[in-house]
Structure 1
Amino acid sequence: MTRTELFDPETLTEEQRALYDELRSGPRVNPNRPGGPVDIHGRLTGPFNAMLHSPRIGGPLQRLGAALRYESSIDDRVREMVILLIAGHYDCAVERVAHQRIGRRLGIGEETLATLDRAEVPASFDEGTHESAAPALELAERMLTRKLPDDAEFEQLKDQLGPDGVFEISSLVGYYWALANQLNLFAVQPADHGPGA
């Protein structure tokens, strides 16, 4: 049972409505979900509904997520694999369902998805996977298990990912770590987005 109400779009405060409208018109709107991150009743889903509790914090938080998903230099498949590793590590159903769907669209294979769901880094990658996958997942796993790289290992990761890549992957881990924990704390379940979700 969820621990947070699903906000009715008709009863939102002015601040909540501004965040709601931002989410309904921003980069998360795509042909597969033309209404954005909402259920069949127009209510925000996943982490976005809980953000309405505090739009002053929820707004900047969702904008960070949008920047990481739509503006970073991280390869799309690599980004989704990192997110799915986090979802597996925290057993986060909402992240698992949403990002496995995205991963499949991007061509991530079922074996890779199953490995990430067990919170494990794949021993090999699907054909066409960007070369940054192995170091990105290594960095993510080290952060999740609190085994940060020593100086030599950090320099190697920096050589492989670039300083911007290390920063962006570490930010991606921090953002989805926060979401996974919030989603689990509020006992949020995957939503029904209707056909074509």
Structure 2
Amino acid sequence: MKRLPSKPPAHLDADALALYEKIIAGPRGNAMLDDAGGLIGPFNAMLLSPPVGDALQELGAAIRYRSVLSARAREIAILVVAGHCDSAFEQRIHEEIGRELGLTDDELAALRTGAPLDLPDPEEAAVLGVTRALVARADLDDAEYARLGERVVFELTTLVGYYTTLALQLRVFRV
């Protein structure tokens, strides 16, 4: 059962309302709103502490919209984390995005379950392998570290941490 009720904008204090408006004005737009106008997913909990919530949503926006990863590689990494954390909300949202980017149902199933997956694109294959290593061991051996440039490794470790944090919050708040 959901622990945190959705709050439409009329029920938010000034700081929470400013964060709400920032979230819906950004690239995520109205896709994160329920029928009553409240935020869904992890964004609803971010309103509990606007200073921390704003920093967290800004980090997410940087990961999603300003990293050097291709859109497909990024979604592959997000779906590896969602599958590892068994985060149904993340899986649902990001499988939809993955489908729009051309990921097949078989590829999505392999990302969800951790089954072997042979990706023909070298960048996507490297991102898959490195992300799976990060969620499994929270570390990389020298060969895994060398598969991608240092900037990509930094962005992937940040992505894994961010989406693991969201999965934890989604679980605790029963989203």
Q: Does 1:40 align with 2:35?
A: yes
Q: TM-score, normalised by structure 1?
A: 0.84
What one-letter code is carried by the residue in structure 2 that aligns with 1:172?
L
Provide the residue aligned with 1:91 in structure 2: 86
Provide the residue aligned with 1:145 in structure 2: 136
What one-letter code is carried by the residue in structure 2 that aligns with 1:8?
P
Q: Does 1:71 align with 2:61?
A: no
| Contact preservation (8 Å) 1:23, 1:36 | no
Q: Which moved more, 1:137-146 or 1:17-26?
A: 137-146
Q: Which one scores higher on RCO, CA 8 angstroms, separation ≥ 6?
A: 1
Segments of 4+ moved more than 4 angstroms: none
Report the secondary structure of 2:39's partner residue: coil
Number of residue pairs matched by the alignment: 175
| Contact preservation (8 Å) 2:145, 2:153 | no
| Structure 1: tracts of 5 or more residues without a match | 30-34, 189-197
Q: Which moved more, 1:112-121 or 1:82-91?
A: 112-121
1:177-188, aligned counterparts within 5 Å?
Answer: 177-188=164-175
Q: Give distance in 2, aligned partners of 1:24 and 1:88.
A: 27
Q: Give distance in 2, aligned partners of 1:91 and 1:181.
A: 10
Percent identity, aligned pairs only, is 41
Deviation of the 1:121 alpha carbon: 4.8
Q: Does 1:133 align with 2:124?
A: yes
Q: TM-score, normalised by structure 2?
A: 0.94
Provide the residue aligned with 1:118 in structure 2: 113
Structure with the higher helix share, 1 or 2: 2
Deviation of the 1:130 alpha carbon: 4.0
